[in-house]
């Protein structure tokens, strides 16, 4: 049994380490391979993978949107998000695409905050890139009553809101501190706070101390945002778990075993980025 991850470049991907751990752990005779595909070769390679024995693939940068044109089927969720991150080939080679990023986002929060009630208040989402798209759709489906969406480039937030139509209020980036009032959840989907990038400047004074703060950045594991939130007593959820949880549905579909996200898995994947607990 073969599966893998397609991207360009692909060397940085942590997915082979993640799925490789599960294959070992569950004694499954299979492989999960990094597959470098240049953009101009995408359509032709997609047509040949099933014949090469692949049961499916994950999709990473820069193919998440463009791969949709090469698929036989795309589910509603991936259509709403406008991107595919998981593809399954059936026995006849027909491909179907879905997107598990939002699932990974929600499951990551629930694993560390099992009592989290998404319906109980507004969520503040910072950023309007691809990750924000999957997260906004997932939050809407989880019943969040209002999403306050903020992005440095206002037009991009407007584009996101009009594409996914839901209870989204666009707030100007300069008003982000005040947008935190009554929020139940704060999500950083920007690259701010990542190693080598400036910190996200956000004054948490107006945030209820029960609100959950989460960051999709996982290098460093504790971003300045998470550190500041933890210091004032807010529940915090780091980003590495989203990567781990988004991988579960694909692994189960290809290899027939529902995998678990454990502390040991987390440590194993982090060792691949030179990270420490």
In degrees and rounded to multiples of 5, residue 31 shows phi and psi of: -130, 155
Q: How many CB atoms lie within 10 A of CB 82?
A: 17
Residue 153 found at the interface with ligand ATR (CB under 6 A): yes
Please give the residues from 49 up to 88 whose contact with ligand ATR meets the rule CB under 6 A: none
- Looking up tokens 């935190």 gives 180
Residue 270, helix vs strand vs coil: helix
Q: Which stretch binds ligand ATR (CB under 6 A): 25-33, 125-133, 175-183, 235-243?
A: 125-133
Q: According to CB under 6 A, which one of 131, 139, 149, 270 is a site residue for ligand ATR?
A: 131
Q: Please, what is the minimum distance in Å from the beta carbon of residue 94 to ligand ATR? A: 28
Structure-block tokens of residue 230: 């933890």
Catalytic residue chosen out of the listed positions 64, 94, 119, 227: 64
Query: Which position's Cβ is nearest ligand ATR?
Result: 129
Which CB sits closer to ligand ATR, 13 or 190?
A: 190
| Residue 94 bears catalytic tag | no
Which residue intervals of the chain are DSSP H helices? 15-25, 42-49, 76-81, 101-112, 130-141, 154-164, 224-231, 240-246, 248-255, 263-271
**Residue 236 to residues 69, 119, 212: CA-CA distances in angstroms?**
38, 18, 6
Residue 13 found at the interface with ligand ATR (CB under 6 A): no
In degrees and rounded to multiples of 5, residue 119 shows phi and psi of: -80, -10
Q: Which stretch binds ligand ATR (CB under 6 A): 36-44, 65-73, 187-195, 248-256?
A: 187-195
In degrees and rounded to multiples of 5, residue 157 shows phi and psi of: -65, -40
Q: Please, what is the minimum distance in Å from the beta carbon of residue 169 to ligand ATR? A: 17
The terminus-to-terminus CA distance of the chain in angstroms comes to: 32
Q: Please, what is the minimum distance in Å from the beta carbon of residue 118 to ligand ATR? A: 21
Q: Please, what is the minimum distance in Å from the beta carbon of residue 151 to ligand ATR? A: 5
Residue 192 found at the interface with ligand ATR (CB under 6 A): yes
Which residues are near ligand ATR by CB under 6 A?
127-131, 151-153, 156, 189-192, 198
Would you name the residues annotated as active-site residues? 64
């Amino acid at each position: 049994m073969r599966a893998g991850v397609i991207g360009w470049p692909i060397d940085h991907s942590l997915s082979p380490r993640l799925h490789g751990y599960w294959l070992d752990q569950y004694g499954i005779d299979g492989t999960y391979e990094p597959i470098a595909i240049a953009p101009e070769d995408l359509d032709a390679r997609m047509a040949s993978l099933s014949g090469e024995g692949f049961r499916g693939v994950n999709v990473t940068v820069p193919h998440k949107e463009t791969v949709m044109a090469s698929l036989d089927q795309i589910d509603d969720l991936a259509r709403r998000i406008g991107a595919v991150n998981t593809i399954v080939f059936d026995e006849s080679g027909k491909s179907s695409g879905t997107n598990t990023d939002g699932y990974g986002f929600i499951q990551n929060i629930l694993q560390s905050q099992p009592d989290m009630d998404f319906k109980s208040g507004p969520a503040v989402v910072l950023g309007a890139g691809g990750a924000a798209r999957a997260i906004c759709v997932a939050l809407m489906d989880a019943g969040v009553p209002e999403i306050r969406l903020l992005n440095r480039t206002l037009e991009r937030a407007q584009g996101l809101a009009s594409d996914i139509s839901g209870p989204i209020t666009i707030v100007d980036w300069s008003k982000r501190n005040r947008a935190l009032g009554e929020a139940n959840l704060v999500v950083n989907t920007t690259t701010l706070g990542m190693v080598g990038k400036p910190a996200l400047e956000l004054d948490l004074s107006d945030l209820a101390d029960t609100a959950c703060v989460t960051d999709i950045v996982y290098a460093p594991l504790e971003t300045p945002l998470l550190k500041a939130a933890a210091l004032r007593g807010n529940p915090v959820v780091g980003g590495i778990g989203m990567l781990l949880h988004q991988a579960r549905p694909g692994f189960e579909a290809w290899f027939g075993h529902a995998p678990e996200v454990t502390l040991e898995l987390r440590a194993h994947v982090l060792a691949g980025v030179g990270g420490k607990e």
